[in-house]
Chains A and B, each alone.
Chain A
C-alpha cells in the first residue's frame, strides 16, 4: 500500500550543468584523505558522505625536567603538535551537479584504498553507471529504509538538539528537544512519494508497521494535474498563498455552524474538495494547492496517530522530501497531529533529516571502523545549519541554485555519557537561557560576541608569534565567525537552540578550523607560573586561621581568584590559589576529591594536561596534596569537554564511572560558563554547590544583582535532610 522511496529521478528533469565551478576548499574538504564514500540520490538532491582524517594543530603541555634546573622559571613547556582526528563529511547538492561533483572528487582523491561506494535512494540505480565510470568505484546498493533508520539513530544519539517541535505561531518556531538518554522506541514517518511508517525499537530492530500511498507523490502528481505547476517547491509556494475554504466543504458549510454534540468546530474540513463537486465555478491554483496540502497532511497525520496509538508510541518523527525544510508542510503536519491526538503527541522533526539516508549508507560501509562505538559532535564551523538553502527562508539563494549544504561531524576522542548524578536525565537542559526564545538576550549576546571578535583575533595571532601566516589565518577565522554570527542573527535556530554555550563553542570550532588550537596557552602558562609562586604563602596564611575563619576565607579566596583573573575562570590564580587550597582543605578533612577539568582547551580554562603538571608541582611542595595523590584520595579526571561551558549529559565515560564508583555526594561547579550560563538550574541527585562571580553587567542585571556579584548556590535534593539555600550577594 505504500513505500518508502524518494522520487524516481525520472520525475524531475535535470540537465547536467557542467559550467558551474565549485569553490572546492569550501565544499569537498579533506578529499586527500577521504575514504568510505557513500551516496544517497533522491529525486532532486544528492547527498554524499565520506570519512576523512583531519590534521590539526593541538597545543600540548609537557613538564620540564626539573632535575636539570635549565628552565626553572617555567612550569611547563608548550608545544604545538599535529594531531589527526577523524571527521565525517556530508554534502547535499542538486542532482544537476552530480557529474561535476564526481569529476571534482576524482581529481582530488589521492592515494585512497577505497574500492566501493555505498549507494542508496531512488536515484541510485539511475546514476550507477555514471558513478562507476567517473570514480572507478563499485556501486554497492544498500536498502533504503535500513539506511534511513541507521542514520536516524546516529543523529538522535550524537547531535544535541537534533529533534524539534515546529510551532508556526510561537515566538520561536523551533522548540528543540534535549537528547534523550534512551532514544528508543520511536516511530519514523517517512513521507516520500508514498508514506512509510516504521517502528524502531533498538539499533538493529525496526519494522515497517504500515504506510499509505497518499504522500508527497500524490501532492506533487495531483497538484501538477490540477494547477499545471510542475515543480514541487512551486506547488508548496502556491499552497502557502491559497485559501482551502473555497474548495473544501467545511463542517459549517453543512451545518451552518459547528457540530456541537461531537465537538466538531465549523471550520473543520468535512469533505476535501467537496465544493468543487457542487459549485460550477473556477478555482484558483493557490486554493486548490492549499486544499490538496491540507488533505494530504491531515491524512498522513491521522494514520500516523492511529499507528502510534496502536503501538503505544509517543515519539513520532517525520521526514522525507515532503517535509524537508518546508515550514508549510511542517506546519500542516503539526496541526494534524495536534488535532488527532488532542495535543497528546507532538510531531517531531529533525535538523539533519535530509542526510539520514547518506549517513546510514555511510555507516553500513564503515562498520569495520565501528563508528557507533565513538561519540561524535557536530562541527559548527563546517556545518551549514538548518535551512541554509530553504526556498522559503531564502528565495534569493535558492534562485542562484547550486547551493551546497554541509554537515561535518568530528569524532570525539572520548565517549560521552550522562553524569550519573543528574536527577532526571531526560529533562536536563544544560543551558540557562535559550536565546532562540529570548530576543533581547539574543540581541545582546550576538552583539557581545561580535564586539569581542577583534580581541580574539589579536590573541590568536599573538599565540603563534613564530608563524608568519598566523595573521592571515586569523583574518579567515574572523570572516568565518562573523559570518556565523550573521547567520545566527537571521536563523537563530540554525544549530539547535542558540545559547551562550553554542556561541562559545562555535567560536572554538572556528578557531580550531584555522589552526588556533589554544590562543590562551601562553597567557595560561604565565599566570600559572605566577600563581604557583604564591601558593605556599597562601596556604600558610590560611592555616593560621581558625576553622570557621578559614572556611570564609577559602570561599573568599576562591571567589577573589575569579575576579582577579583577567578572563573568565579557571587558570592561574583561580586554579592555584582558589581551587587548590579548597581541595587541600577538603583533603585534610578526609574527603575524597575528584577534580574534573576540560579535555581540550577553551579560552583560558585549565586543561587536564595542564592541571596534571600543576598538581604534581604543588604536590612537591605540599604534603597534603601529595598524600592525597598517593593515597588516591585526589583524582584528576578529564571532563570530556572542550568548552568554557559544561553539558552534564555529555561527559567523559571515565569521569562518569569514577563518580559512580566513588559514590560522589557533593558536586561543586564553578565559574560563569559552567555554573551560570549552563547548569544554573541543573537538578542533581546529591548535594551541589554552584559558584561564580557575575562578570558581566548585563547578566548581573538580568539576575537582579550587581556587577561582580557572587552566586553561591547550595542545593540539596528534595527528600534529603538539609536546608536549601541559594544566594546572590555582592562580595
Chain B
C-alpha cells in the first residue's frame, strides 16, 4: 500500500504571520529491512525531533497534542506537533541545510502566507522546493481529518457547559458527527471567518485585522512584555473593568431601554480617557482589557456572520486560543448570551495545527 505514498520524512508546514506550525509523522512500524536502507540523514532528523521537546531557543513540541498509533497511508506511527516563531525561520532553514535535508529529495508541503513569502529563501538557503498550498483548503481538511481520527483520550472537539455561569462553567466533549454547515473562525495573527458547507464547499465570509497579533502587539506596547505567554499570564491577573467603561459606569445600572446589562462594556479602554484613571491602572489590568477587547470583538463579528449566513454552530481555532481558557470562556459566553442560547461555540484541542495537518494530508493524498 505504501508504494503510492511519498517517501519519508512526512512533514506538513504552515508558515503564518507569527508562528510556524510543523507536523511530523514518526513511523513506528519500520521493518528491519527498512531500517537498514534508511539513510543516516533521515534517522538523525527523526531522532532529533522525537527525542527533544524543545528546539533551539524558541522551537517547542506540544507533547500533549501528540497523536499515537495513527495509521496514515498504510503506515502506523505518531503525529508530532511543533511550533516556532516565524522570525526564527532563517535558523530553521540553516538547520535544514546543516542536516542536508535536501538530499532526501522529499517534497515539502507548506501552506500559510510564508509558503509564498519565503519560497525563495527555502530554495536558496536550504535547497528545498516548496509545494505551496492554500491555507484555507488546508485548514478545513486538517480540521475534518483530526476530528475524524481522534478517538481515545480527551475529545478533540469540546464546548463549555453553562457558559454564562462562571461557577458552573465546565468543559464538555462534543461530537462533530454531522458538522455542516459550520462557521470556522481561525484566530491567528489576524482572523478569518469561513462558512463551511462540505469538505470542498466553503467560502471566506470575512475577516478582521483585530486578532492574536493585535492582542500581543498592543500588550507589548502597553506593558513591555514580549511573549504571548507573558501577556496571557498578566491578563489572568488583571481586572479589565478598571480600564473599560461599563454600561453601569454611565447609567448607574442597566440601560433598560435597550436591554443592555450594567456589566456590559460600553467603551473598551473608555476609562483611559481620564488622566487619573490612566495613572491608577496596572499593567495586568491593561493586558486583561486588551484580551477582553479583542476577544469580544471577534465574538461580535462572528455572531453577525452566523446570523447573516444562518449558521448556528461555530468552531473557533487558531493559536490565539492556545492555553487561553480566558478567551475561550469569553467567546462561549458571548455567543450564548447575545444569541440568547442560539449559537454554540465549539473548540478543538489541536487549535493551531490544522493548516499544517492539511498540508501533510496533501503530501499523502494529493487532492
Contacts and interface: CB of A to CB of B under 8 A. Distances in A.
Contacts of B265: 1-2, 194, 213
A277 B213 contact: yes
B18 A225 contact: no
Contacts of A283: 221
B259 to A, nearest CB: 8
Given A145-B257, A270-B209, A276-B218, A262 B204 contact: yes
Given A1-B300, A249-B189, A271-B211, A213 B218 contact: no
A612 interface: no
Nearest to A122: B250
Contact of A221 (B18, B113, B208, B267): B267
Interface string A265-305: 00001111111111010010000100000010011001100
B180 interface: no
Nearest to B212: A271
A7, A272, A299 pick with most chain B CB within 10 angstroms: A272
A691 interface: no
B297 to A, nearest CB: 6
B17 A306 contact: no
A271 B301 CA distance: 15
A208 interface: yes
B269 A217 contact: yes
Contacts of B247: 3
Contacts of A254: 16-17, 112-114, 117, 189
B304 A306 contact: yes
A298 B188 CA distance: 18
Interface residues of B, number: 70
Contacts of A225: 222, 269, 272, 278, 286
Given A3-B260, A288-B221, A221 B269 contact: yes
B282 to A, nearest CB: 13
Interface string B211-254: 11110111111100010000000000000000111010111000
B73 to A, nearest CB: 27
A218 B293 contact: yes
B113 A273 contact: no
A194 B278 CA distance: 18
Interface in B246-298: 247, 249-251, 255, 257-258, 260, 264-275, 278, 286, 293, 296-297
Interface in B143-200: 188-190
Nearest to B281: A225
A27 interface: no
A12 B273 CA distance: 8
A2 B270 CA distance: 11
Nearest to A125: B252
Contact of B267 (A10, A193, A210, A256): A193
Q: Which residue of B114, B264, B286 has the most chain A CB atoms within 10 A of its CB atom? A: B264
Nearest to A294: B209
A309 interface: yes
A280 B244 CA distance: 28
A249 B17 contact: yes
A340 B16 CA distance: 24
Interface in A182-196: 192-194, 196
B116 interface: yes
Contact of A272 (B213, B220, B250, B305): B213
A218 B301 contact: no
A11 B300 contact: no
B127 interface: no
Given A270-B17, A271-B209, A276-B218, A221 B85 contact: no
Contact of A222 (B87, B211, B272): B272
B206 interface: yes
A471 interface: no
A307 interface: yes
Given A273-B213, A306-B305, A214 B297 contact: yes
B8 interface: no
B contact patch SS: helix
A389 B208 CA distance: 35
A5 B245 CA distance: 11
Interface in A1-59: 1-3, 5, 7-8, 10-13
Contacts of B116: 255-257
Contacts of B217: 247, 271-277
Given A5-B250, A217-B245, A272-B213, A278 B87 contact: yes
Contacts of B216: 277
Nearest to B292: A213
Interface in A239-263: 247-249, 251, 253-257, 259, 261-262
Contacts of A220: 272-273
Contact of A251 (B113, B118, B220, B272): B113
Given A256-B113, A270-B190, A278 B221 contact: no
Nearest to A306: B304
Contacts of A261: 134
B343 to A, nearest CB: 14
A214 B196 CA distance: 29
Interface in B93-145: 112-114, 116-119, 134, 136
What interface size band does chain A fall in? 35 or more
A413 B293 CA distance: 52
A36 B307 CA distance: 45
A213 B250 CA distance: 13
A366 interface: no
A613 to B, nearest CB: 57
A274 B258 contact: no
Among B243, B245, B264, B305, the most chain A Cβ lie within 10 Å of the Cβ of B245
A501 B92 CA distance: 71
B17 A193 contact: no
Contacts of A303: 300-301, 304
Contact of B214 (A212, A272, A340): A272
Contacts of B244: 213
B267 A217 contact: yes
A208 B256 CA distance: 12
A70 interface: no
A71 interface: no
Nearest to B15: A254
Contact of B245 (A193, A262, A276): A193
B312 to A, nearest CB: 15
A217 B278 CA distance: 13
A259 B192 CA distance: 13
A601 B296 CA distance: 60
A40 to B, nearest CB: 16
B31 interface: no
B266 A2 contact: yes
B18 A194 contact: no
A215 B247 CA distance: 14
B297 A299 contact: yes
B232 to A, nearest CB: 13
Contacts of B218: 222, 273, 276
A399 interface: no
B210 interface: yes
Nearest to A215: B267
Contacts of A215: 267-268
B338 interface: yes
Interface of B: 16-18, 85-87, 112-114, 116-119, 134, 136, 188-190, 204, 206, 208-214, 216-222, 226, 243-245, 247, 249-251, 255, 257-258, 260, 264-275, 278, 286, 293, 296-297, 300-301, 304-305, 307-308, 338
10 contacts: A8-B249, A194-B245, A214-B210, A222-B269, A222-B272, A254-B117, A269-B209, A270-B190, A273-B213, A273-B221
- The 9 residue pairs across chains A and B that have the minimum distance between CB atoms: A221-B272, A273-B217, A254-B113, A271-B213, A256-B117, A217-B267, A274-B213, A221-B269, A217-B270
Given A217-B268, A221-B268, A274-B217, 18 more contacts: A2-B265, A3-B255, A8-B245, A8-B249, A145-B258, A193-B273, A213-B265, A218-B269, A221-B278, A249-B190, A253-B17, A254-B112, A256-B117, A257-B117, A273-B217, A278-B18, A295-B214, A298-B209
